[in-house]
């Protein structure tokens, strides 16, 4: 039997502790703190994410049940609900935001050569946001509508490896297009976004920084055609044109030519109109590049289903942001482990295995590679149907 560290300790060993300490010192996170360090807080919240804990009392009960193993898990202080609540309330959430960025940089380096279905040498980013509903009476700072609260996660994702690069957490009222003002544009990179980000003054900044964008056109776009290129209708393409905007304001905001591509999606039987400032890539590649934008939708769906970001352990803005950033750190950490250990399983499968084995005294790699997950067909074969009429 393996007599080394428990699984949770092996997981956390992939964290660059010295970088975490830098983030703590940057915001004086442990000023006048005698016990329950910021790293203890991070470990407790990471445990909650990995095991789907419902509340602070749930976290406290489960960790105290494992009291003899907590020291070996790296948690040096006694865990109590009130102490964890105070830490989430008072310790600067930027500590965990900065540390998440450290993990993101590590993950991006690991996935830099990851194939995402297109032969593209440049980096491709997807931009989108997701809304998390909140109870306005419990979260009065997150006003959204008259009787409803919400926050938004504005996200820029690297399509190689589906790694979120930039995340901005705002109130639900903040419009998606304002996220473009926060981006540091990378020359020659592609930024794929939906119609909610159309603002020609902001899009012209991409051209000025020699970056490329791909987005869908609105139905009322006022333009004049300057040139057309031949397309193969068998691929779904209908037209490939060079246009100029002619609206009284849009023509001033974006005076340069644009490329307009019409594509018919056979699967969903709908026509899509794209426009971009890139005139080099084939038209079909532009259309397929926009299709890859759905990876960010899948990312939002995944974290909402597998991590605790829809219900919160605290009601203050600091507590909510702390929980979200630690959840993002856990997601990126699992992605790092998957790549470093060359595990073929999906992130969802890895999380399922970890959720029931965190305090087992076993080797991490054999556990994740040899653990047998019964597939759905095999699982349902011996089960009676609940609604078998």
Domains of the chain by residue range: 7-96+316-372, 194-276
Report the C-alpha gap between 369 and 258 in whole angstroms. Answer: 49
Mean pLDDT of 273-288: 94
Q: Please provide the DSSP assignment of 308-354 as one string.
A: S-SS-S--SHHHHHHHHHHHHHHHHHHHHHHHHTT--S-HHHHHHHH
Token digits for 289?
Answer: 């590049």
Structurally, at CATH architecture level, domain 194-276 sits in Single Sheet (2.20)
Report the C-alpha gap between 78 and 67 in whole angstroms. Answer: 8
CA dihedral 58, 7, 166, 308 (to 10 degrees): -20
Residues 177-226 pLDDT 10s: 999 999 999 999 999 999 999 999 999 999 999 999 999 998 888 999 99
Mean pLDDT of 13-20: 96
pLDDT of residue 371: 64
pTM of the full predicted structure? 0.89
pLDDT of residue 32: 84
């Amino acid at each position: 039997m393996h007599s080394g560290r428990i699984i949770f300790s092996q997981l956390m060993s992939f964290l660059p502790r010295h970088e975490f300490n830098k983030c703590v010192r940057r915001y004086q996170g442990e000023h006048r703190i005698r016990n329950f360090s910021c790293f203890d807080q991070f470990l407790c919240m990471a445990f909650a994410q990995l095991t789907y804990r419902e509340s602070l009392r749930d976290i406290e009960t489960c960790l105290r049940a494992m009291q003899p193993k907590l020291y070996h898990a790296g948690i040096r202080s006694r865990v109590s609900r009130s102490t964890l609540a105070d830490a989430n309330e008072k310790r600067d959430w930027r500590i965990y935001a900065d540390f998440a960025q450290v993990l993101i940089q590590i993950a991006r380096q690991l996935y830099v050569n990851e194939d995402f279905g297109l032969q593209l040498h440049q980096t491709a980013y997807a931009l989108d946001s997701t809304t998390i509903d909140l109870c306005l009476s419990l979260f009065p700072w997150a006003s959204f509508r008259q009787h409803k609260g919400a926050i938004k996660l504005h996200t820029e994702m690297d399509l190689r490896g589906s790694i979120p690069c930039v995340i901005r957490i705002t109130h639900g009222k903040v419009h998606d297009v304002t996220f473009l003002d926060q981006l540091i544009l990378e020359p020659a990179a592609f930024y794929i976004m939906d119609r909610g980000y159309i603002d020609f003054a902001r899009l012209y900044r991409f051209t000025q920084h020699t970056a490329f964008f791909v987005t869908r056109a609105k139905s009322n776009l006022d333009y004049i055609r300057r040139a057309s290129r031949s397309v193969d209708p068998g691929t779904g393409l209908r037209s490939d044109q060079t246009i100029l905007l002619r609206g009284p304001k849009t023509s001033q905001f974006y005076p340069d030519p644009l490329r307009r591509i019409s594509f018919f999606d056979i699967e969903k039987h709908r026509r899509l109109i794209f426009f971009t400032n890139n005139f080099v890539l084939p038209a079909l590649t532009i259309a397929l590049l926009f299709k890859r934008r759905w990876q960010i939708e899948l990312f939002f769906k995944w974290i909402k289903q597998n991590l605790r970001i829809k219900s919160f352990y605290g009601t203050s803005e600091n507590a909510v942001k702390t929980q979200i950033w630690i959840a993002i750190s856990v997601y990126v950490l699992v992605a790092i482990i998957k790549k470093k250990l060359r595990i073929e399983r999906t992130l969802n499968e890895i999380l399922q295995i970890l959720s029931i084995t965190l305090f087992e005294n076993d080797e991490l790699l054999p556990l994740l590679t040899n653990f047998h997950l019964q597939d759905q067909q095999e699982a349902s074969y011996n089960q009676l149907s609940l609604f078998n009429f």
